[in-house]
Structure 1
Amino acid sequence: MRLSHMRMLVPGLLPTALSAALTGVVSLPAVAADLNVKVEIPRLNVAEYHRPYVAVWLERPDQSVAATLAVWYDVKKKDKEGEKWLKDLRQWWRRTGREVHMPVDGVSGATRPAGDQQLTLSSDKGPLAQLPAGDYILMVEAAREVGGREVVKVPLQWPPKTAQTARGKGESELGAITLDYKP
């Protein structure tokens, strides 16, 4: 049926259709925000080196956990032996880790080698999907067998209004922590 015939059958259809189309354009959903975290695991010159266990999470200013973003540990150990050592990530473990049943799809993964490790998250899925607007602290904790333990904190505001970069730096078990986030 041609548009001219439809106008005769339903007077006022064209203005209504045009109005509905324009409303759809005006009410497009907001673009998802991106959060990119770069964690440097330093190469240590020690006699017995083990890859560190690492937890990355967001905390509220009251130190409650808003979201666990990543946990890197020895996932392939026989009989889930690697999970036994997650408690060495003491801050993460005390605040939320003991309540988490590992492995968690999209969060847990294998330990990472020395070098820069990337973690990329989007606000439209995963741990950031339900994150309310507000002030947060990105927490990165590393613990290494026959080694040390370290926590680096990087404050951020979510969701970002403009593209931003924030940095933190470890002294032994962690190197530079770089946080890039944009609307």
Structure 2
Amino acid sequence: MLKRFPLLAASFALAFAMPAAPATAAEIELSIEIPRLNVSEYHRPYVAAWIQTADRKQIRNLTVWYQMRDTNEGHGTKWLPDLRQWWRISGRSLDVPVDGVTGATRPVGKHSLTFTDKQPQLADLPAGEYTLIVEASREVGGRELVKIPFKWPATSSQTLDAQGEKELGEVTLSVKP
């Protein structure tokens, strides 16, 4: 049959010989720097990162880092309300741990996270103007909040950043179409 229809045979050969183009997904890359502090009693900070609209009605938790193991002082969830903005907006209604969102505190350094529009954090996020908010709170330390406004979905790649003053270092947000 393929001898009688050479164009059909060529089409089949071409279709099976060429790899399919990879499906691209819109994504957010987030880098959060935890600075080294010269203090006598150092504790890793609790950190929450989330996305919200100006009216705070649409919220997506990206990550929450806290002490996940029990100590003689209790479980780390006891101090989650110290992330005051996050706690008021979202934290008090969550049943932690949340798979894919919560994790252990991080050491000094830069920590990168990537989220695609296929993951729950960004899936079905309506187009619009949003603010990335990163909040850090440290025992025997301070609290800090940085905000980065952005548009979703991005029409072109964009990299935005904000600089913390004490509890957070550089926070970088890359939004890709």
User: Shared fold (TM-score greater than 0.5)?
Assistant: yes
CA distance in 2: counterparts of 1:65 and 1:145, whole angstroms: 30
Give the counterpart of 2:174 among 171, 180, 183.
180
Task: For residue 162 of structure 1, report the CA deviation from its aligned partner.
Answer: 0.3
- Over residues 135-175 of structure 1, what are the superposed CA-to-partner deviations in whole Å (9 max), with x where a residue is unaligned? 00000000000000000000010011100001111111011
Q: Any idea what SS the aligned residue of 2:136 has?
A: strand
Corresponding residue number in structure 2 for 1:111: 105
Pair 1:30–1:160, CA change in 2 (3 A): farther
Corresponding residue number in structure 2 for 1:154: 148
- Over residues 98-140 of structure 1, what are the superposed CA-to-partner deviations in whole Å (9 max), with x where a residue is unaligned? 0000000100000000110111111112210121111000000
Corresponding residue number in structure 1 for 2:17: none
The Cα RMSD (Å) is: 2.1
Give the counterpart of 2:92 among 98, 105, 123.
98
Letter in 2 for 1:53: Y
CA distance in 2: counterparts of 1:49 and 1:78, whole angstroms: 16
CA distance in 1: counterparts of 2:78 and 2:39, whole angstroms: 24
Unpaired segments of 5 or more residues in structure 1?
8-13, 19-27
Q: Is the 8 A contact 1:65 1:95 kept in 2?
A: no
The answer to whether structure 1 residue 126 and structure 2 residue 126 are counterparts is no
- Over residues 54-97 of structure 1, what are the superposed CA-to-partner deviations in whole Å (9 max), with x where a residue is unaligned? 00000101133420000000012259711110000000000110
Task: For residue 31 of structure 1, report the CA deviation from its aligned partner.
Answer: 2.9
Corresponding residue number in structure 2 for 1:51: 44
> Hey, which of these two has a bigger chunk of helix by percent?
1
Q: Give the greater-gyration-radius structure (CA).
A: 1
Q: Is the 8 A contact 1:37 1:177 kept in 2?
A: yes
Unpaired segments of 5 or more residues in structure 2?
12-20
CA distance in 2: counterparts of 1:37 and 1:108, whole angstroms: 15
Letter in 2 for 1:139: I
Q: Any idea what SS the aligned residue of 2:75 has?
A: helix
The answer to whether structure 1 residue 42 and structure 2 residue 44 are counterparts is no
Letter in 2 for 1:76: R
Give the counterpart of 1:33 among 26, 36, 41.
26
Give the counterpart of 1:63 among 56, 63, 66.
56
